[in-house]
Amino acid sequence: MDYLSTIRTPIHTELQDFIALFDESLTHKDGLLGQALEHVRAKGGKRMRPILILLMTKSFGKVTSVAQYAAVGLELLHTASLVHDDVVDESGERRGQASVNASYNNKVAVLVGDYILSTALLNIARTNDCDIVCDLAELGRTLSNGEILQLTNIANTNFSEEVYFEVIRQKTAALFEACAVIGAKAGGADKQAVEAARAFGRNVGVIFQIRDDIFDYYQSADLGKPTGNDMAEGKLTLPVLYALNTTGDSQMAALARKVKARNVSAEEIAQLVEFTKNNGGIAYAEQKMAECQALTDEFIGQYIAQPQLQDALKAYVSFIIDRNN
């Protein structure tokens, strides 16, 4: 099934308008800043978050400049967070290409991220909608808190699934939740529908992050990162947490603690990856995605009236689950 075509068809014109506005926001005439912004812009991406805003807006009303500026502001906020994340994580790659900090240096990356963040605020202000401005401001706070929570969790020697999901809720899920809420509000949805959209977006974000985490247990040039990259950064994700907690394997637990201490070899990471696969970790993570997908289907059936938009949102969730990168 051509998921992307199904997803984009109801918002084809609106998406083109978004891309033009976003690219304009990431353009600068000055030398180094202009080059760095071009580097960021060239990475593109599928624009899944602004697409969700546009789909939700159109599900409840008409896409206006409010939705467009909010979509650009949120995508810029997300982009700035990625530039800064790569500095924090000391990552050399982003979407299969050199990160800003790798192409230039940490100082340039931080300043470029700050510039993008300021540009995000400018676009958010142009919505002239105080409620949406507050939503996006709160999103920025939540994302920062989620990043700090993830850093502190690395030092936590417990293998907590609860903490794992809390980090997701304050990072990836928070982004998708904000997209769904802002889109619903921009389309004129009532309070009940907005809260239902919030839960929908949160479930989409959980699915997205779990799928992203599963990728790390397999080698693929399309992903832009090698197998075990999360573990190399001190992160234990849902599949390995499940395997550790259900087997009680002391040898693997010792390796997992070395992961958190960032004192683990590539060979030991490979052992943990294989252990996870052999003890139901991947299947468990896929089960959690299926549970969240069922909840998104309930929302679509109850709140989305237009068949084309129902199909688009279902395809959106299915694409996230079935994607290869």
Per-residue pLDDT tens over the stretch 278-312: 999 999 999 999 999 999 999 999 999 999 999 99
For 109-119, the pLDDT digits (tens) are: 888 889 899 99
**In this structure, what CATH number is given to the domain that contains residue 291?**
1.10.600.10
Number of structural domains found in the chain: 1
pLDDT interval class at 33 (50, 70, 90): confident
Return d(Cα 280, Cα 217) in angstroms, integer: 13
Of the two residues 325 and 265, the one the predictor is more confident about is 265
Which residues contact residue 272 at a Cβ distance below 8 angstroms, ignoring those fewer than 6 apart? 228, 231, 240, 252, 255, 256, 259
For 152-176, the pLDDT digits (tens) are: 776 677 888 998 999 899 888 999 9
Number of helices (H), then strands (E), belonging to the chain: the values are 17, 2
Cα–Cα distances (Å) from 307 to 10, 53, 292, 312, in that order, read 10, 18, 21, 9
Maximum alpha-carbon separation in the chain: 58
Q: Look up residue 303 and give its two tokens.
A: 């709140």
Q: How far is CA 122 from the centre of its chain?
A: 22
Query: Looking at residue 223, what is its pLDDT?
Result: 47
For 222-264, the pLDDT digits (tens) are: 544 557 788 988 889 999 999 999 999 999 999 999 998 889 9
Backbone angles phi, psi at 262, to 5 degrees: 55, 45
Q: Please state, for a pLDDT cut of 90, what percent of the chain lies above it.
A: 63
pTM: 0.89
pLDDT interval class at 95 (50, 70, 90): low
Query: Looking at residue 150, what is its pLDDT?
Result: 79
Which domain does 68 fall in, by range? 3-322
What's the chain's length in residues? 325
**Are 33 and 119 a contacting pair, CB within 8 Å?**
no
Handedness of CA 163, 165, 168, 174 (dihedral sign): negative
Q: Look up residue 164 and give its two tokens.
A: 């794992």
